Each structure stands twice: as structure tokens, then as C-alpha cells.
Amino acid sequence: MSSKTISFLYHEVTDNPESSGFQRTGALPYQHKVSHFKSDLKLILKHFNSSEDVTTFPKTGNKTTLILTFDDGGVSAVDIAEILENKKLVGHFFVTTSMIGKPTFLNAEQIRGIRKNGHIIGAHSHNHPSIFRDLSYCEKINEWRQCKEILEKILNEEVTTASVPGGDMDLDTIRSAGEVGIKFLFTSEPNFTVYKKFGVLVLGRVCPKNTTSPSEISRWAIGKGFIRARLFRAAKEFIRVRLKFFYKIYVKKNDAPL
């Protein structure tokens, strides 16, 4: 396997934020303008010749691998896929299946089209629960299973990749994904360490906001600056666990993290 895997997590890429993805306050920092995304991509591609398809792991060699992922299944995924295709890059698109066909989300035909053009379609749960790890084990299983089955029916092929909605996870999040046949699970933990748990290959990601500076993007692309991102994440984790009551109020007020 590669010595490092740098996985980027984006959401919507559009000049009309109201036209794609979740329409809520918490989603705004993750809406990228097209030119902004292209600039990020340019910076990232200074260090890579290509992006990889996670389902072809494990790989041999010591080169650092780039993986591009896009969460939620907003309709801007169609344009994102085209931008990637023009650069001969592969993307991973994680779809919230309860939103399929809704006004700002992909429909079944668009999902098939993106897959046909060589990208990976994966699960992002059925209902995009606000705090995934607060679900019971049975509910976690149901979220993954329902999502996976709907996508498999649309694509007529097995779906083995997924990303955790909202990024709030625990060991049962991985275990439940593995139990329904997910083999590759992307988290929102900012690290480049890939590990296997319950038969699932778990990969961290860094998530640029529309306020993330070009220098930060460049640093992430070479596997630096993750410690700061991890510290920020750890602070959020502390608030989640120790100040759960207030975190739930925050999530409710912002209509859930992504």
C-alpha cells in the first residue's frame, strides 16, 4: 500500500449554492464556487499526476496517493464529475439515498451517468442522521443497508464504498458498515493513515471549507498541516463528548453538520 494517502473531502461545487445539496446554515461553509474548486485542484495537482480509485487498493510502492471524494449527492456532482473528467481524474461520490430525485440532489439517471463516466458511487447513509454515532447499532445497520441496496438497484452492481455522514463516528459505525458489505469507509478524521478494522479499510480525509487558504490546501496536498486539523477536530470531539448537551443544540440550530 502507498506510504501516504491524502484524501480530500468536498461537498457542493457550484456558483448557485441554492441549486445543489443540503440547504441549511451548516452547509454554507462547504459550498465551493467553481473557480475556487478549480484553483484548489490546480494546487493539489502540483503534487499528483492522477487521483486513485480506492477500490483498487491495496497498491504497492511508496508513492503518495491522492483520493478525491464528494459527500451528500447534491446535483452539482454532475458538474464536478465533468471537471474531473477533463483532467482525467477519478472522483468518489457518496450519495444520501433518501434525497435522490429531490430538487437539489442527483436523480437515478445522473447517478448512473457519473458511474458510467468512470467515477465511484458510494453510500452516505439513507437519511443522513445528524449524529450518526448516536444511532443504535440496529439503526446504523439499517442506514447503511438501505442506502447500499438503493444504490445497487440503480447501478446494477455491488457498492462497497461509503463515507460517514456528519463525521461523528465510533467503532460500531465501522463495524455496522462492514456487516452490510462496505469494504472502504471514509471518515472526516484529518489523517493519511489507512487502517483495517472489522474487515473495512478506513481512510481519513481533510475537508476544505470555502474559507480554507490556498497555502493550507497546498500543505494538505503534501501531507502537512494535518496536526493542526487534527487538533481542531479533537477540540470539536471534546465538545461533542463532554458537552454533548450543547453540541446537540448546536447541531439542531445549524441543522446538522455534513
Size of the residue set binding Zn ion (CB under 5 A) = 4
How far from 80 is each of 91, 119, 151, 219, CA to CA, in Å?
A: 9, 11, 19, 23
Distance between CA 51 and CA 123 in Å, rounded? 20
12: cell is: 457542493
CB of 130 to Zn ion, least distance (A): 10
Distance between CA 58 and CA 89 in Å, rounded? 19
- Of 84 and 123, nearer to Zn ion (C-beta) is 123
Footprint on residues 177-216 left by Zn ion (CB under 5 A):
none
128: cell is: 443522513
Could you say which of 12, 40, 52, 72 contacts Zn ion (CB under 5 A)? 72
Stretch that binds Zn ion, among 56-64, 65-73, 170-178, 236-244 (CB under 5 A): 65-73
Q: Any idea what DSSP says for residue 98? A: G
CB of 106 to Zn ion, least distance (A): 13
Distance between CA 258 and CA 161 in Å, rounded? 18
Q: Any idea what DSSP says for residue 229? A: H
Site map for Zn ion, 80-119, x if CB under 5 A?
----------------------------------------
237: cell is: 470531539
- What 192-200 contacts at long range (C-beta under 8 Å, 24+ apart), as own/partner pairs, is 192/4, 192/5, 192/6, 192/7, 192/64, 192/223, 192/226, 194/1, 194/5, 194/57, 197/171, 198/171, 198/174, 200/174
CB of 257 to Zn ion, least distance (A): 8
Stretch that binds Zn ion, among 67-75, 84-92, 145-153, 191-199 (CB under 5 A): 67-75
Distance between CA 66 and CA 89 in Å, rounded? 10
- Of 2 and 140, nearer to Zn ion (C-beta) is 140
- Of 66 and 123, nearer to Zn ion (C-beta) is 123
Could you say which of 122, 165, 178, 190 contacts Zn ion (CB under 5 A)? 165
- Of 2 and 187, nearer to Zn ion (C-beta) is 187
Binding of residue 169 to Zn ion (CB under 5 A): no
Residues that bind Zn ion (CB under 5 A): 71-72, 165, 258
